């Protein structure tokens, strides 16, 4: 949806018909032929059936200001090429002319190489924090079937596998489900399981938080410890300024303290 809006808002840059080609005054182009003499060739005969096609096209180009009448020492012939759909394409045989002019030879960088380079300078500074963390690991990132992965290298070089880069919206659910599937193991084993499958900046503390917040884990009493999470205890959240919801359950008993202040217990 966003892409469509973006393209519509800039619709003037797209050509809507064959002669809707626009013109720029930003740059003036000059063709450099060096010391070569102009190329002039005798007009070729065209099959009679093609003459109306050529005339129509020349008329159209004149009308749309693509060409103008000229008396020039340069002359190249019109050629018509049959298109796949049977209609004729109007071309001009500029091959000899092109041989006489100097080509602009700018060393354009390869697009693949440009796109494969990590962002630098201002572009890097303007990235969100998380993207900067990922940029620092550019060499380890890998795009496969439109999914972004990170190559995991164990410090001792033993384990090498791909971790899928989890988008923000899937992190909590994925880690929670993984933790539950494992059978509610603790932080260390849950982290190990995440490490083998997925990656995102801050995944370690995020995983620890998921385990600490797990309702199932918190309800089960271990050895002599009291349950770690009961009603009306501080709730931990994942992000600053997150919106928390709590259900109040009643009935709430009214009472008073030693100083006779009344309130709910």
Tell me the closest approach of the beta carbon of residue 179 to Zn ion, in angstroms. Answer: 5
Contact 95, 41 (CB under 8 A): no
What x-and-dash track marks residues 213-242 binding Zn ion by CB under 5 A?
-x-xx-------------------------
Q: Which of 59, 60, 58, 53 is nearest to 81 (CA)?
A: 53
- Tally the C-alpha atoms within 13 A of residue 30's C-alpha that lie toward its C-beta: 3
Query: In terms of CB distance, is 53 or 195 closer to Zn ion?
Result: 195
Tell me the closest approach of the beta carbon of residue 208 to Zn ion, in angstroms. Answer: 12
Q: Which of 44, 45, 67, 47 is nearest to 57 (CA)?
A: 67
What x-and-dash track marks residues 52-91 binding Zn ion by CB under 5 A?
----------------------------------------
Q: Which of 96, 103, 88 is nearest to 53 (CA)?
A: 88
What x-and-dash track marks residues 172-201 binding Zn ion by CB under 5 A?
------------x-----------------
Q: Which of 162, 158, 163 is nearest to 203 (CA)?
A: 163
For the record, the structure tokens of 4 come out as 């469509």
- DSSP code, position 49: G
* Residue whose CB is nearest to Zn ion in the complex, by number: 214
Tell me the closest approach of the beta carbon of residue 209 to Zn ion, in angstroms. Answer: 12
- The C-alpha atoms of residue 14 and residue 226 are separated, in whole angstroms, by 68
Tell me the closest approach of the beta carbon of residue 184 to Zn ion, in angstroms. Answer: 3
Tell me the closest approach of the beta carbon of residue 123 to Zn ion, in angstroms. Answer: 41
Which residues contact Zn ion (rule: CB under 5 A)?
A: 184, 214, 216-217
């Amino acid at each position: 949806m966003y892409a469509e809006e973006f393209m519509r808002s800039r619709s003037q840059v797209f050509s809507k018909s064959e002669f809707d080609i626009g013109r720029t005054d930003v740059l003036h182009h000059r063709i450099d032929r060096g010391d070569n003499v102009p190329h002039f060739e005798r007009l070729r005969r065209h099959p009679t059936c093609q003459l109306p096609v050529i005339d129509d096209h020349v008329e159209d180009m004149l009308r749309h200001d693509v060409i103008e009448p000229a008396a020039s020492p340069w002359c190249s012939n019109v050629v018509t090429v049959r298109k796949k759909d049977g209609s004729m394409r109007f071309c001009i045989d500029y091959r000899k002319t092109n041989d006489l002019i100097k080509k602009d030879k700018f060393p354009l960088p390869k697009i693949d190489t440009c796109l494969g380079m990590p962002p630098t300078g201002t572009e890097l500074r303007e990235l969100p924090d998380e993207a900067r963390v990922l940029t620092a690991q550019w060499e380890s990132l890998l795009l496969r079937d439109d999914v972004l992965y990170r190559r995991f290298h164990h410090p001792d070089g033993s384990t090498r596998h791909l971790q899928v880069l989890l988008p923000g919206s899937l992190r909590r659910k994925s880690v929670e489900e993984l933790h539950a599937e494992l059978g509610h193991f603790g932080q260390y084993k849950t982290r190990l399981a995440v490490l083998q499958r997925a990656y995102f900046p801050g995944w370690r503390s995020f995983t620890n938080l998921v385990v600490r917040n797990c309702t199932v884990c918190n309800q089960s009493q271990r050895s002599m410890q009291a349950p770690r999470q009961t009603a009306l205890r501080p709730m931990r959240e994942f992000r600053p300024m997150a919106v928390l919801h709590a259900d109040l359950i009643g009935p709430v008993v009214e009472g008073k303290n030693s100083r006779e202040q009344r309130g709910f217990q």
